[in-house]
Structures are given as C-alpha cells and as structure tokens.
Amino acid sequence: KHDRLRPAIYRADHGALDLIGDNQLSSLKVPQGLVVVLCQSATRKGCKVVRPGSYATLGRLLNDKVSYIEIRRVRSTAPGSR
C-alpha cells in the first residue's frame, strides 16, 4: 500500500520504516530504472538485491523480516545510452 518510496535509504533503527513497519514488508514492485536492496537487519545483514519486477512474496529470507531498504536509481544499459 506504500508504493511510492523515493530513492533513499530507509532504516528501521532510524524510524524511517514507520510507514511500512519494521519486519512488515511481504511484497514489492520495483519499477524500471530502480534497484532495491532489502536487508534483515538495519546494519545490512541478510541482504538481497531486487531488480525491476513484481514480487508477490519476498521468500523465506526476507518475507516480513525487512529492517533496511535502499532504493537506487540505475543507469540504462541499452545500446546508445550514456
């Protein structure tokens, strides 16, 4: 329901996950042009990089266990892009 997070770092230990809730994330949509790093701990342990796509579940490693979210813009690697 909170589908408009901007590129930034969101850490539960800094109160930045208040909209979603610590250990509450269970699905994710990543638009083209972004990549998301999800971690079990706010100190970046148990991480996974999530590429563009729609994910109904985050799997055993991260489902309802996310305490760190980093959203990054990625450059296009299409031919002719800079």
pLDDT category, 21, cuts 50, 70, 90? confident
Structure tokens at 42: 């706010």
More confident residue, 58 or 2: 58
More confident residue, 12 or 80: 12
Kind plus residue range of the DSSP H or E element containing 62: helix 59-62
Strand-pairing partners, residue 37, are: 49, 70
pTM of the shown model: 0.84
Give the pLDDT score at 3.
60
More confident residue, 25 or 82: 25
More confident residue, 6 or 35: 35
- The answer on pLDDT for 2 being more than 70 is no
